[in-house]
Structure 1
Amino acid sequence: MRKQKFSIYEIPGWAVMLAIFGVLYLTGLHTEAIGQVQRVLLATGIKNADVPESLRNPDATAVVDAAAMANSEMAGAGLKMVDMQGKQVRFESLKGKVVFLNIWATWCPPCIAEMPNIQKLYEKVGSDKIAFVLLSVDEGGVDKVKKFIDRKGYTFPVYMPASQFPQEFHSNAIPTTFIIAPDGKIVAKQEGMADYNTPEVVAFLQRLASE
C-alpha cells in the first residue's frame, strides 16, 4: 500500500491565515500588521480629517478678543502630563497656542496607522504658535512608550497623563484628535483614525495660529 504524500497545498486557506495571525499575535506584531493595512486605507484619501466649515471660510471666523482669551478657561485645564524625559507639564501652559491633541496608545492599530501622517503634518506646520500633544494612554509607564517612539523615529512631542483625565477629552474611540484654539476652546474633534496631512488641515492650523 502506497503512502499518500502530504502537500502544503492541501492545507485550507483559513488554517494558514489562522497560523499567520497566531504567530503575529504571539510575537506582538499583530498590532503593527493591522496598522499597516489601515495605513493603506488612509492613503486612499477616504479618511481625510474633517475641517469645520466655519473655519474654512475666513469671513465666518470671528477674531478672538485678547481680554476674553485671557479670562476664558482652557479645555483640559488641570491636566498634568509627563513628557518622555519625565518632566511634568501642565496642559494649560499651552494656552495662547493652537493645540493639536491626539489621544493614542501603542496597542491601537488605527493610532499606529495615522502616526506617519501626523509626523508629516508636524514637520510641515512647525511653528512656536502651534503645539502638538501626542497623549499616550498606555499603561506601564514612560519607558514602553519612549521605546516605541524612538523605534519609529517620530519627533513630535509625546506625553502621558499624570493626573485625572479631563471630562472634555473623554471619547468612545481611540484614536481621538482635538484641535484647540488659542482661546482654549475645542474647535474640532475627530474620533477614529484620519489623515491629517492635508492642505485643508494645514491651512486650518495656520489660520488659527495667525489670529
Structure 2
Amino acid sequence: MAIAAAVCAVLFGGTWYAMRALLTVPASPVSPSVVSLGAFKEVSPPKPLPALAWTDLDGAPLPADAVRGRMTLLNVWATWCAPCVKEMPALERLQTQLGGPGFGVVALSVDRGGAHQVKPFLEKTGLSRLPIALDMPGAAMQALELRGLPTTLLLDAEGREIARFEGAAEWDGPAMVAELRKRMGGV
C-alpha cells in the first residue's frame, strides 16, 4: 500500500510539474498593455463615421467634417482608463512629429465629466499640443461599436474608418511612425 501511495505521489507530482511547464507562458518583453503594430485591423470597404456631436474643451461644437481633409488617428479614451492615460504622451509626440496638412491626431474623451474632468488631467500631465474632442452626449462608444478603451480608428481624408486598433500602443515608436507614413503615401 505504501508503495502504491508513493508511486501515485511521484506520478501526480510529475504530472503537476509537466502541466505547470506547459501552462506557464514565458514573460513577454513587451508590456501586456501595449499592443503590437500587427493589431491594426483593416476595415474594408472603408466605413463612414457616424454623425456624432463632439465639442472642443470650451464646449463649442466641432463641425461634422472636423476629421476630414487629412488622414486622422482618432483615439477614443478616458481619464479613468490606465492604458489610455499611459499612451497619451505618445499620441501628443506623434501629433508633434507627423501632424500637419496630411495627418492629424484627435483624442476623443468619453469622460462623463467632460471638460471639468479632462482639463485638470491635461494640466496635470502637461499635455498641450494634442487636439482634444469631448463626447458629451456619451454616444461614441455605441455609435463607433467599441469593445473597450482605448480604441483608435484610422480615418482616411474623407473621414471614413479604414483601420482599427484596440488597446494601447507606442504611437510614436519607429515601427508605428513608419506604418503611418506608409499609409500617408510616404510623407
- TM-score of the superposed pair, with normalisation by structure 1: 0.62
Q: Percent identity?
A: 29
Aligned to 1:158, which of 103, 125, 132?
132
1:41 aligns with 2:15: no
More helix per residue: 1 or 2?
1
| Partner in structure 1 of residue 58 of structure 2 | 85
> What is the DSSP-based 3-state SS (H/G/I as helix, E as strand, rest coil) of the residue aligned with 1:89?
coil
The Cα RMSD (Å) is: 3.0
Of 107, 132, 135, which residue of structure 1 is paired with 2:108? 135
- Offset of residue 49 of structure 1: 3.1
Q: CA deviation at 1:152?
A: 0.7
Q: Once the two structures are superposed, what CA deviation does each residue of 1:34-85 show, in whole Å capped at 9, x if it has no partner?
A: xxxxxx8279xx633337599xxxxxxxxxxxxxxxxxx9732421211112
Matched, 1:197 2:185: no
Asked if 1:187 is matched to 2:162, the reply is: yes
Deviations, residues 138-170 of structure 1 (Å, cap 9, x unaligned):
112212101101211112011111454375622
CA distance in 2, matches of 1:200, 1:75: 27
Deviation at 1:181, TM superposition (A): 1.3
Distance verdict in 2 for CA 1:94–1:53, change over 3 Å: closer
Number of aligned residues: 153
Q: Give the TM-score taking structure 2 as reference length.
A: 0.68
Give the gaps of 5 or more residues in structure 1: 1-39, 55-72
